[in-house]
Amino acid sequence: MDVPLPVNSLTERQAGPGVVRRHRRRRWVEASLVALAAGWIAYQLVTNPGFQWPVVASYFTSGEILSGLLLTIELTVVTQAIGIAIGICLAMMQLSDSRITATAAAAYVWFFRGTPVLVQLIFWYNLAYLFPRVALGVPAGPTFFSMSTNSLISPFTAALLGLGLNEGAYMAEIVRGGILSVDAGQMEAGRALGMTSLQVMRRIVLPQAMRSIVPATGNQTIGMLKYTSLASVVSLQELLNSAETIYTRTFQTIPLLIVASLWYLVLTTVLSWGQYYVERYYARGSAHELPATPAAMLAATMRGARARLAAVLR
């Protein structure tokens, strides 16, 4: 006795070629929409006089912009290093057996993640309102060091404190999550071999945790690069502030904002490429496939595009 095929199966068998044609039509529609959007954007970029590309080209490598760019790079590197160092210490404190230590670390993370980084920057820049002078010495005795807080807390120092301390709170959660992702048996195995807790953490746990820590840290570094633009509120002449200074003088707002955006895109691209290679380094020996390098990803994308184009033109 013949069993009737389900409607879906019968439809698929009878309309097999039609399914392929509909799939190709969908691809044509998607490609057309993308081409239209790309064409409209390209048309605006080329024909809209408001972009003022000659002005963009003239200021892209100007001394004032490059000076702000170097300060942005320096601020990103130093603040991220401070954040990573603080984050590692806080993560160790949160995982400590001491309830007091863990609570202190949790309070730090709670406070700095709960207050806006812009507020923290302004607070550190105006620290002299609370403490006019910073002094070290013996109570009712000689003073070894005394300095005006306004002289000590420069715009660069305020940016380091505001961004670095804030980043430490986020890095603490990233490092803690990475350590917790490693199986607890790894710590027990290391101790069984006679290692101290610090040796087990440094030689066994952290190298494995880095596979989870590196992607999130790379994302935080890219975010920190853009967060440095907030330092303009404390009069630090980083990249965005340099662009603002120029367009305040020349009234060429859009071209100078494009210059700053292009430099941020360049730096973000460099950091993204570096992140791929760091991820590949720490992914060695794992069961997962190594992340593709940017060059390999670009080559694979080009091969896929050629294959889809050839299939459409058949």
pLDDT in tens, 114-124: 999 999 999 99
Least confident of 72-86, 94-108, 239-253, 278-292: 278-292
Taking the model in full, what pTM does it have? 0.78
Q: d(Cα 239, Cα 248) in Å, to the nearest integer?
A: 14
The predicted structure's pLDDT at residue 19: 47
Q: d(Cα 234, Cα 310) in Å, to the nearest integer?
A: 56
287, pLDDT greater than 70: no
Q: How sure is the predictor about 97, in pLDDT bands with cuts at 50, 70 and 90?
A: confident
Q: Which residues of 246-263 are buried (b: 16+ CB within 10 A; e: fewer)?
A: bbeeeebeebbebbbeeb
The domain spans of the chain are 56-283
Tell me the pLDDT of the chain averaged across its residues.
Answer: 83
Q: What is the mean pLDDT of residues 13-39?
A: 69
Give the CA angle between residues 6, 9, 12 to the nearest 5°. 145
The predicted structure's pLDDT at residue 288: 59
pLDDT in tens, 149-170: 888 888 999 999 999 999 999 9
The predicted structure's pLDDT at residue 107: 95
The predicted structure's pLDDT at residue 9: 46
Q: d(Cα 231, Cα 163) in Å, to the nearest integer?
A: 9
Q: Which residue has the higher pLDDT, 264 or 277?
A: 264
Q: d(Cα 296, Cα 54) in Å, to the nearest integer?
A: 35
Q: Name the residue among 223, 252, 219, 226 with its Cα closest to residue 240.
A: 226
Among residues of the chain, what percentage have pLDDT more than 90? 42
* Separation of first and last alpha carbons in the chain: 43
pLDDT in tens, 208-243: 888 888 889 999 999 999 999 999 888 888 999 999
11, pLDDT greater than 50: no
Q: Which residue has the higher pLDDT, 291 or 155?
A: 155
Fold of 56-283: MetI-like fold (1.10.3720)
The predicted structure's pLDDT at residue 10: 45
pLDDT in tens, 21-30: 556 677 788 8
Residue in this structure with the two tokens 């160092």, named with its chain if needed: 85
Q: What is the mean pLDDT of residues 183-196?
A: 78
Least confident of 87-91, 149-153, 196-200, 210-214: 196-200
Residue in this structure with the two tokens 């603002």, named with its chain if needed: 244
Among residues of the chain, what percentage have pLDDT more than 70? 83
56 in Cβ contact with 255 (< 8 Å): yes
Q: d(Cα 195, Cα 190) in Å, to the nearest integer?
A: 6
Q: What is the mean pLDDT of residues 48-60?
A: 89
